[in-house]
Amino acid sequence: MAQTRVAVVGCNGRMGKNLLEAVSNHEQAVIAGATERPGSSLIGTDVGELAGVGKLDVQVADSVDSIQGDIDVIIDFTSPQVTLAHVKWARANQVKMVIGTTGFTEEQKAQLADAAEDIAIMFAPNMSVGVNLVFKLLETAAKVMGDYTDIEIIEGHHRHKVDAPSGTALGMGEVIADTLGRDLSKVAVYGREGITGERDRETIGFATIRAGDLVGEHTAMFADIGERVEITHKASSRMTFANGAVRAAVWLQDKPHGLFNMRDVLGLND
């Protein structure tokens, strides 16, 4: 099988560096392009030297338009507006995308679905294998306990994260709500303060922690009188997300179009 030619956008960010390392470590993927913001001192730098894997004769560009050479897949963990600009370019150039960006509005998610009519897109709030296994476990827990327990989701991330709740926490809420036939936008409670009254059994609560260098911690709690079940995932390194993203990029290679999630990549939706 030919290697998947991958471009990493925002290659010098926290996730970007991990993605470069993950691509270079994968036998079926190769770094074919990378970008940084216009004006960055890294423009023109050899990507391989930046990643610490030796010279690759691939230079950091200031935009996807400036990438030299052919690419199969863009991996994007940037911001909603930047990602949507990349989606527009990818659609016009028939390039697939792996998207780990969070904070999209419903309207913006609809734009991703529209683009997926023409190109293959793997969009997931979290690309960790463990987190996506948790999503599957949440379906089972919701089927068994969701109708009679109080459901709360607690998540924690580093101080630099700009959106809350996290995309992963919202993804957990969506899995639970969908399983129970509820509309998350109507039953989610994102904060409590003061005299709130007795808890509504139908609601799904979210609590957010932002502190230090937490990589990512998520717990879904199903609490009844006398017992509770907690399903927890803790990440200690961003490499788990980067490795999942590269796995998804390779998996997309033979997909002409469509909108997929990480559970598709892992075969958990079969």
Task: Cite the active site residues.
Answer: 157, 161
What token pair was written down for 4?
A: 């998947």
State the virtual CA torsion across 9, 10, 16, 21 in degrees, nearest 10: 50
What token pair was written down for 200?
A: 């509504």
Beta bridge partners, 234, equal 217
In 3D space, the residue among 152, 166, 151 whose CA is nearest the CA of residue 214 turns out to be 166
Sheet containing strand 4-9, edge to edge, reads 60-61, 29-35, 4-9, 73-76, 96-99, 120-123, 258-260
Question: For residues 197 and 240, what is the distance between their CA atoms, to the nearest angstrom?
Answer: 41
